Amino acid sequence: MYRHIVVLTGAGISAESGIRTFRDQDGLWEEHHIEDVATPEGYERDPELVERFYNLRWEQLKSTDVKANPAHEALAQLEAEFDGDFLLVTQNVDDLHERGGSQRLIHMHGELNKGRCPRSRQTFLLREPFGPDNVCTCCIPPQRLRPHIVWFGEMPFGMDRIHDALERCDLFIAIGTSGTVYPAAGFVDIANHHGAQTVEVNLAAPDRHSQFQWHLTGKAGDIVPRLVKAVLQGKSLCSLADVLQETD
Ligand code: APR
């Protein structure tokens, strides 16, 4: 049925794994001002504060009770078994897609478990928390590694590849994202414009501005495995009436 699938995930797909989202009730932004911890200016102003914010999230990611959930695993199955083009794009900086078995994905907002040399832009797997002594090995003198995170005002990664895939796709699935941050929030418009079927999976009911043709209300961990199974069986979204609630 489908030949080219693009999947976009947001913090909601990791919520059932114990990773806090940004804008839900006890979201990450409730405790911090975005401009203080997620902008180049904030880092310039107070690198220690920004390092503390990311070191805390990196520690949380390493705790043993944070595991990939059935939604991550279902997307890995889709990547492995779907015989058409498949691209997974995540806004998440955790490595739960990889822990769930995904191998080919684009972390468009960067990765929590990596540091980046500010001069060469070379990335390094994080082996210790960010700090004045955590420096690159590619420069003389060595440079203090910065979080390999795309901050507000910086260009997300992989945009050319993502745009190409969106223009070719016949199915676009967004999972666990509030659709409030561009350019990711605009991906559905590109997919719709190029004739794809578009569906979003979200715990919250769709708002009236939703551009998605279909909306699945519920937990990603419950819905994504059923959606992946149906897509792999060659079913179209229309034939999934029992699973889909069409946006009115
Ligand atoms: N299953 C499905 N959806 C869920 C679940 C769940 N278990 N839990 C929460 N959600 C939904 C919420 O209803 C919300 O729409 O996930 C979405 C999370 O939204 P945000 O917290 O805004 O996260 P996200 O959309 O990924 O944010 C995008 O904003 O701050 C930047 O860089 C940051 O990548 C992030 C970007």
Residue 113 assigned to a binding site = no
What pairing do the DSSP bridges indicate for beta strands 4-9 and 171-175? parallel
Per-residue confidence (pLDDT) for residue 124, from 0 to 100: 98
Q: What is the mean pLDDT of each run of 10 residues along the chain (248 residues)?
A: 96 92 73 88 96 93 91 98 97 97 97 97 97 97 98 96 98 96 96 96 91 94 94 82 49
Per-residue confidence (pLDDT) for residue 248, from 0 to 100: 39
- The 3-state DSSP composition of the chain as helix, strand, coil percent (nearest 5) reads 35, 20, 45
Per-residue confidence (pLDDT) for residue 241, from 0 to 100: 55
Q: In the chain, what are the domain boundaries?
A: 4-19+67-109+156-245, 23-65+111-149
CATH class, domain 4-19+67-109+156-245, is alpha beta
Per-residue confidence (pLDDT) for residue 244, from 0 to 100: 52
User: Do the domains 4-19+67-109+156-245 and 23-65+111-149 sit in the same CATH topology, yes or no?
Assistant: no
Cα-Cα end-to-end distance for the chain: 24
What's the rounded Cα separation, in Å, for the pair 189 and 200? 13
Catalytic (active site) residue 72: no
Per-residue confidence (pLDDT) for residue 247, from 0 to 100: 44
**Cα separations in angstroms, 215 against 19, 25, 79, 194, 211:** 23, 22, 22, 19, 10
Q: Which residues line ligand 1 (CB under 6 A)?
A: 10-12, 15-16, 21-24, 27, 91, 109, 176-178, 180-181, 201-204, 219-220
Residue 181 assigned to a binding site = no
| Ligand 1 atom with the shortest distance to the CA of 28 | 21
Task: Produce one character per residue of 105-139: b if its CB has 16 or more CB atoms within 10 Å, e if not.
Answer: bbbbbbbbbbbbbeeeeeebebeeebeeebbbeee
Residue 26 assigned to a binding site = yes
Second-level CATH architecture of 23-65+111-149: 2-Layer Sandwich (3.30)
Q: Which residue has the tokens 């967004």?
A: 174
What's the rounded Cα separation, in Å, for the pair 218 and 168? 28
Q: Which of 4, 72, 107, 109 does the annotation list as catalytic?
A: 109
**Cα separations in angstroms, 79 against 37, 103, 146, 218:** 34, 8, 31, 22
Per-residue confidence (pLDDT) for residue 199, from 0 to 100: 95
